[in-house]
Chains A and B, each alone.
Chain A
Amino acid sequence: MHIIESGNVAAALGVKLSRAQVIAAYPITPQTPLTEKLSEIIEMGEMDAQYVPVESEHSALAVCIAASSTGARAFTATSANGLLYMHEQIHWAAGARLPLVMCVVNRGVGSPWTIWNDHQDSISQRDTGWIQIYVNDHQQIIDGVIKAFKLAEEVMIPVMLCYDGYILSHTYMPFEIPNQEQVDAFLPPYKPEYALDPMSPANLNTVTLPDVRLDTRGRLAHGYMEIRYLLQEDMIKTIEVMNGVDKHYMEHFGRGGCPLYETYQCEDARFIAVSLGSLSYHLREVIDRLRNEGIKAGIMSVHLYRPFPAEAIAEGLASAEGVIVFEKALSYGYQGALCSDVRSALYPANGSRKKSPFVHNYILGLGGREIKTSDLYEAFKDSCRKGPSAGKDLMWIGLKI
């Protein structure tokens, strides 16, 4: 069924189709309409789920963590400062290996207050051990939610599905709503290996000593470091699992095919832009314009940001002369996080001297600063012209200082 609706509603419908059983909700712009829609769906009896209106985002994730530990499929959504408020819990869910799905409707963080879109909120969570996926349009949102549950439950790692506040959350686009039966066939009910149960008592996530120790059955149990190592190991394996989930989804629904990143005109590109989210589609206009002028440009839109598919991305960029990373966030005191990751992927661990593309970094759109296509075009063209001798490590677009 094809409809025209907002990104938030697309996400809500994805959650409904995924048969989430416990939904924690706390209002924060621009995520709010997502959980509002879910409350409407539930109160109309169209979805059998427990809707918990919590008193803070920290509690929202607490509800999800406890619900998932008890064996239920759990979901929540947030943005910006709400995401930051639950930061402690984000780490907790990852270490507890819970397959939560959370939509992050990207918004800039305070201070000062901003309600408009940038990526600082989710970028600041990239080290927590959550899978992070950025999607570019409403179809990818609804498909992404369903795939997120499947992926999470397969690797037992929580998934953050990120989409741009206002630009995607509040705009209207046509998209296809998958059929419930088909989704049920793709995503069976949540059956964890262990859920809290008086019949099989266990004490979960308590203090874990630095060293390994024998358990009650005389077996050598992990220490903290092993438990965390396994999270990392499974994160790396997730790249392959993600490919499988995407392939599986393609077989059921006929959509997908680029789970790690999505390219436009990269096959023979000399200069490749890299970005996350809806900006990637905006940049296509710039690519078209440059191509018209004879400049072989392309755009690589990264979908799977964590785990970072370094090998695949390096492969995708290796033959380019220049890489231009456009970002709506940065690691203060250094450079854009995505740029750091891309540069690191292009610089092999063995330090070999093979020629790598130059990498430029542009910061833009912070706090929802308007991103003009003409500004993007000028910056891209400038980078192509200057090449390795651009001079500055970090450049800004749209700054009015």
Chain B
Amino acid sequence: MGTRQYGRKTSHSEPGPGDGGRTGSWRVARPILDEHACIPAKRGAQACYMCWLYCPDGVISRTIPPKIDYEYCKGCGICAEECPTKAISMVEESCFIRSEERKP
């Protein structure tokens, strides 16, 4: 089956996620947030959010605590580097691959 029925005749893209596929697969290391060190988590209130601010991909949410979307997080490490309390550490992706493979 071809694309004859496709409505448009030009290069016309609509907004949507994942143009680059599952960019989470690019990661060599994964950012893990320690809620005990994270300022908004500890305070139970909106605060800091340096990780949310600097994330180039917008995959960290401005919630209490911030949540990272691992589907798309590329593992750049900026959040870990900029966190004022070092609440985020970069953990090798290989650890998670093995445990995720074991999941039923």
On A, residues with C-beta under 8 Å from B are: 95-97, 156, 194, 201-206, 208, 212, 215-217, 219-224, 226-227, 230-231, 234
> CB distance B1 to A205 under 8 Å?
no
Interface residues of B in 1-41 (CB under 8 A from A): 1-3, 6, 8-16
Known contacts A212-B3, A220-B1, A222-B3; is A97 also within 8 Å of B14 by CB?
Answer: no
> CB distance B14 to A217 under 8 Å?
yes
Give complex CA distance A227, B8 in Å: 9
Interface of A is mostly: loop
Give complex CA distance A220, B10 in Å: 14
> CB distance B3 to A221 under 8 Å?
yes
> CB distance B11 to A204 under 8 Å?
yes
> CB distance A206 to B9 under 8 Å?
no
7 tightest Cβ-Cβ pairs between the two chains A and B: A216-B16, A203-B13, A230-B9, A222-B3, A205-B11, A208-B11, A216-B14
Determine which of B6, B11, B13, B15 lies in contact with A219 in the assembled complex, contact meaning CB atoms within 8 Å: B6
Determine which of B3, B8, B16 lies in contact with A194 in the assembled complex, contact meaning CB atoms within 8 Å: B8
Give complex CA distance A147, B1 in Å: 38
**B74 CB, min distance to chain A CBs, angstroms:** 20
Give complex CA distance A327, B14 in Å: 47
Across-interface contacts of B10 in A (CB, < 8 A): 95-97, 204-205, 227
Known contacts A220-B3, A226-B3; is A201 also within 8 Å of B8 by CB?
Answer: no
On B, residues with C-beta under 8 Å from A are: 1-3, 6, 8-16
> CB distance A202 to B13 under 8 Å?
yes
Across-interface contacts of A204 in B (CB, < 8 A): 10-13
Across-interface contacts of B1 in A (CB, < 8 A): 220
Q: Nearest A residue to B16 by beta-carbon distance?
A: A216
Across-interface contacts of A96 in B (CB, < 8 A): 10-11
Known contacts A216-B16, A220-B1; is A206 also within 8 Å of B6 by CB?
Answer: no
Across-interface contacts of A223 in B (CB, < 8 A): 3
Give complex CA distance A194, B11 in Å: 12
**B26 CB, min distance to chain A CBs, angstroms:** 19
**B59 CB, min distance to chain A CBs, angstroms:** 18
Determine which of A156, A220, A227 lies in contact with B11 in the assembled complex, contact meaning CB atoms within 8 Å: A227
Across-interface contacts of A156 in B (CB, < 8 A): 9
Across-interface contacts of B6 in A (CB, < 8 A): 219-222, 226
Across-interface contacts of B9 in A (CB, < 8 A): 97, 156, 222, 227, 230-231, 234
Q: Nearest B residue to A205 by beta-carbon distance?
A: B11
Q: Nearest A residue to B17 by beta-carbon distance?
A: A216
Determine which of A206, A216, A220 lies in contact with B15 in the assembled complex, contact meaning CB atoms within 8 Å: A216
**A15 CB, min distance to chain B CBs, angstroms:** 25
Determine which of B2, B3, B8, B11 lies in contact with A206 in the assembled complex, contact meaning CB atoms within 8 Å: B11
- A205-B10, A206-B11, A208-B11 are known contacts; what are 19 more A-B pairs with Cβ within 8 Å? A95-B11, A96-B11, A156-B9, A202-B12, A203-B12, A203-B13, A203-B15, A204-B11, A205-B11, A206-B13, A215-B13, A215-B14, A219-B6, A220-B1, A220-B3, A222-B8, A222-B9, A224-B11, A227-B11
**B13 CB, min distance to chain A CBs, angstroms:** 4
Across-interface contacts of B3 in A (CB, < 8 A): 212, 220-223, 226
Give complex CA distance A283, B6 in Å: 48
